[in-house]
């Protein structure tokens, strides 16, 4: 009896034959580099906005602090999305080269 994961992977292979194919060492290195770059970008934004947030909270400026919290969450989501788009480009480049 197959697990739900195995069944899902079979369906994925039917709809996208290139999915799950092994990556080259260059692609793996590029994916790791993308992770490092975006980890740094995220940390940079967190540090900057956390400092602003701390200052606003110390001044009891709750409304502005809430705006900064939302901005931080939005920046994290945006950077995560950008990172995944970059990684997907690397993965797709492999499929184009093989065809």
Q: Spell out the domain ranges in the chain.
A: 21-98
pLDDT at 99 over 70: no
Q: What does the angle CA 66 – CA 79 – CA 41 come to, to the nearest 5 degrees?
A: 95
pLDDT at 96 over 70: no
Question: What is the percent of the chain where pLDDT is above 90?
Answer: 67
Considering the entire predicted model, what is its pTM?
A: 0.71
pLDDT, residue 7, reads 79
Decide if 27 contacts 95 (C-beta within 8 A). no
d(CA 45, CA 84): 18
pLDDT, residue 76, reads 96
């Amino acid at each position: 009896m197959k697990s739900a994961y195995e069944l899902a992977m079979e369906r994925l292979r039917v709809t996208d034959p290139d999915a799950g194919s092994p990556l080259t060492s260059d692609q793996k290195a590029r994916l790791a580099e993308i992770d490092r770059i975006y980890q740094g970008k995220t940390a940079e934004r967190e540090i900057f906005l956390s400092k602003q947030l701390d200052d606003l909270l110390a001044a009891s400026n709750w409304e502005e602090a809430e705006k900064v919290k939302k901005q931080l969450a939005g920046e994290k989501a945006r950077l995560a999305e950008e990172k995944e788009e970059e990684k997907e480009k690397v993965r797709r480049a492999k499929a184009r080269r093989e065809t």
